[in-house]
Amino acid sequence: MKLNGAQILVNCLQNEGVEHIFGYPGGAVLHIYDALDACDNIAHILVRHEQGAVHGADGYARVSGKCGVALVTSGPGLTNAVTGIATAHMDSIPMVVISGQVSSAVIGNDAFQEVDAVGITRSCVKHNFLVKDTNDLANIVKKAFHIATTGRPGPVLIDITKDTTITEIEFDGYPKSINMRSYQPETKVDAGQIDKAVALITQAKKPIIYSGGGSVIGNASEMLRSFTRHTNFPITQTLMGLGAYPATDSQSLGMLGMHGTYEANMAMHDSDCIIAVGARFDDRITGNLDKFCPYAKIIHIDIDPSSVGKTVGVDVAIIGQVNDALNALIQALKDKKLVNIDAWWKQIEQWRGVDSMAYQTKSGVIKPQSVIEALYEVTQGEAIVTSDVGQHQMWAAQYYPFDKPRRWINSGGLGTMGFGLPAAMGAKLADPKADVACVTGEGSIQMMLQELSTMLQYDTPVKIINLNNGYLGMVRQWQEFFYEKRYAMSYMDALPDFVKLAESYGHIGIKVEKEQDLKPALIEAFKQKDRTVFVDILTDPSENVFPMIPSGAGHHEMLLAGRDEMASVNDEGLHLV
């Protein structure tokens, strides 16, 4: 069959089972668009900004577990996509991004809309390819999907020169399999390491399971539940891991880290045996490394060997899929006796008693925490919640207990403001029956507002829950704590009228100023099944996110609301982000 490169590409995508592509056209990809137009089993979502395309594909991938696909043109199309690619990379999201490139004959000439896409994205992709020969295209697409979706997933960029898409060749079908000698990501769990882990687990008096995004990405919820039940160990989850283990279960201590619960962080600090499951000990989790878990032996399960020992030394490393590793541990523990940990649970109950998530209500102002609690009630805990970045993100994570994986969608690694709205659109496309809420702030939402237009065109009704505190709240909080209340550039004057704005995009806008209007407004919003509703909620501008481990401090040095109204930070902490 004689096909041009663009037709071959579309054929490859069909063979990969791609159903949705998020993209934006331009000169370098016109042949691809022409071929896509002739294909009726791939839906193309025309976004309004390439960053929105990549976040859309990202949200789609996080909810569906499938590989997200985005398509952008050369030059500015690609550079606009970079923030989205880096976001997906930091959170290990399977994604293939296709970018157009100028024709191979003019590469290097500073041609119109030429950028070195492979060079620019090199450090924020799992891998990238430049295709200059149509004969290589199908194989590279096969490799790209293989790399993006196996091992520790991540975004892969395929940069395709325009002549590659135009040239016709004899096409003999999409490759069935691919063999890459330099990429063998799946490792069998090592039995010796399992034995070593079992030895530690069976001696543990103060054990804790610390589970991260790998448990979600690795679809390991069931196994994680079995393991946790089997051992009766307490479990804490990272911002990226929320939902893999049910938050409302009694063994769950909630989230750990900078804004985690008192019980989770204290249990980590005092633990003698930590079982890290698909988590990478990043700085938001560990706080000051010198003070991190001083008494614990650490068992680390991860698919990526380079995650092990990167920031924290471990005692036992189990490299492999979370499911395989946990399964091996469960089997190995079957006929073993564990130490009685009643005393440990008693201690944990005492920490729980501190009730670190309690917050002060004030009459006349809407507390942001109460908005999330109301959202939980109205959606009965069943919504997919995407979020932007800031205080609202932390409150969403803290006050919406997720009982299932792939329901909490946020940019944890890169912390990208603007992620929430396009991700919600992608989430809705991945799971059209689900209620999708985008928890955002008046700062973040303005970074990707234009996608409201896309959402009307493609009929992806979501509920935008704008915690409007009038401030870049997370910045304001740090300035209050660490910069003697000098609020440099954290207040935004001249906010738009979000209700009118939503209406001008063809959606519904609701403004909530009084506490008593909150719940009725949310109920009304979710009643509108097939409409996007922008709920603009004026929340307490002075509220801070608690509890908090200030930069440079240890887990046992947490600040609690009510007890520690003001945080201080040491010199070392000031250097940290």
Partner 1 sequence: MRHIISLQLENESGALSRVAGLFSARGFNIESLTVAPTNDETLSRMTIVSIGDDGIIEQIVKQLDKLIDVVTVTNLTATEHIERELALVKIDVNPNFRAEIDKHIDEHGGKIVDASEDTYTVEVVGKSQRVSDFLEAIDALKILEVSRTGVTGVCQKREY
Q: List the catalytic residues.
A: 50, 112-113, 162, 474
d(Cα 575, Cα 296) in Å, to the nearest integer? 27
- Residue 550 within binding range of Mg ion, rule CB under 5 A: no
Query: Shortest CA distance to 368 belongs to which of 445, 487, 469?
Result: 469
Angle at the Cα of 52 from the Cα atoms of 47 and 54, rounded to 5 degrees: 105
Among ligand TPP, partner 1, Mg ion, none, the one that 416 touches (CB under a kind-dependent 5 to 8 A) is ligand TPP
- Residue 368 within binding range of Mg ion, rule CB under 5 A: no
Point out which residues pair with 131 in neighbouring strands: 160
Minimum CB separation from partner 1 for residue 122, in Å? 5
Comparing CB distances to Mg ion, the nearer of 128 and 490 is: 490
d(Cα 128, Cα 149) in Å, to the nearest integer? 14
The one among 47, 88, 98, 130 contacting partner 1 by CB under 8 A: 130
Among partner 1, Mg ion, ligand TPP, none, the one that 180 touches (CB under a kind-dependent 5 to 8 A) is partner 1
- Residue 108 within binding range of partner 1, rule CB under 8 A: no
Minimum CB separation from ligand TPP for residue 441, in Å? 3
d(Cα 208, Cα 211) in Å, to the nearest integer? 10
* Sign, CA torsion 479/480/484/489: positive
Question: 250: helix, coil or strand?
Answer: coil
- Residue 469 within binding range of Mg ion, rule CB under 5 A: yes
The one among 17, 294, 313, 520 contacting partner 1 by CB under 8 A: 313
Comparing CB distances to ligand TPP, the nearer of 257 and 418 is: 418
Minimum CB separation from ligand TPP for residue 514, in Å? 20
Q: Which two tokens mark 262?
A: 């008192």
Strands 316-319 and 95-101: unpaired
Cβ(87)–Cβ(419) below 8 Å: yes
Minimum CB separation from Mg ion for residue 59, in Å? 21
Cβ(215)–Cβ(244) below 8 Å: yes
- Chain residue whose CB lies nearest Mg ion: 441
Instruction: Pick the stretch among 179-187, 403-411, 483-491, 558-566 that binds partner 1 (CB under 8 A).
Output: 179-187
- Residue 380 within binding range of partner 1, rule CB under 8 A: no
Query: How many chain residues are in contact with partner 1, going by CB under 8 A?
Result: 19
How much helix, strand and coil, in percent to the nearest 5, is found in the chain?
Answer: 40, 15, 40
**Interface positions with ligand TPP (CB under 6 A):** 388-392, 415-418, 441-444, 467, 469, 471-475
Among ligand TPP, partner 1, Mg ion, none, the one that 417 touches (CB under a kind-dependent 5 to 8 A) is ligand TPP
Considering only residues 226 to 245 of the shown chain, the ones binding partner 1 according to CB under 8 A are: none
d(Cα 43, Cα 37) in Å, to the nearest integer? 9
Comparing CB distances to Mg ion, the nearer of 84 and 441 is: 441
Q: Which two tokens mark 235?
A: 């479990």
- Residue 133 within binding range of partner 1, rule CB under 8 A: no
- Residue 180 within binding range of partner 1, rule CB under 8 A: yes
- Residue 473 within binding range of Mg ion, rule CB under 5 A: yes
- Residue 183 within binding range of partner 1, rule CB under 8 A: yes
Interior/surface letters 153-188, b for 16+ CB within 10 angstroms, e for the rest: bbbbbbbbbbbbbebebebeebeeeeeeeeeeeeee
The one among 126, 280, 297, 463 contacting partner 1 by CB under 8 A: 126
Question: 546: helix, coil or strand?
Answer: coil
Which CA distances in Å does 256 have to 158, 302, 556, 558? 37, 19, 12, 11
Instruction: Pick the stretch among 176-184, 322-330, 344-352, 548-556 that binds partner 1 (CB under 8 A).
Output: 176-184
d(Cα 439, Cα 388) in Å, to the nearest integer? 7
Cβ(208)–Cβ(233) below 8 Å: yes
In the complex, the residues that contact partner 1 under the rule CB under 8 A are 118-119, 122-123, 126-127, 130, 147, 180-183, 304-306, 308-310, 313
In the complex, the residues that contact Mg ion under the rule CB under 5 A are 441-443, 469, 473
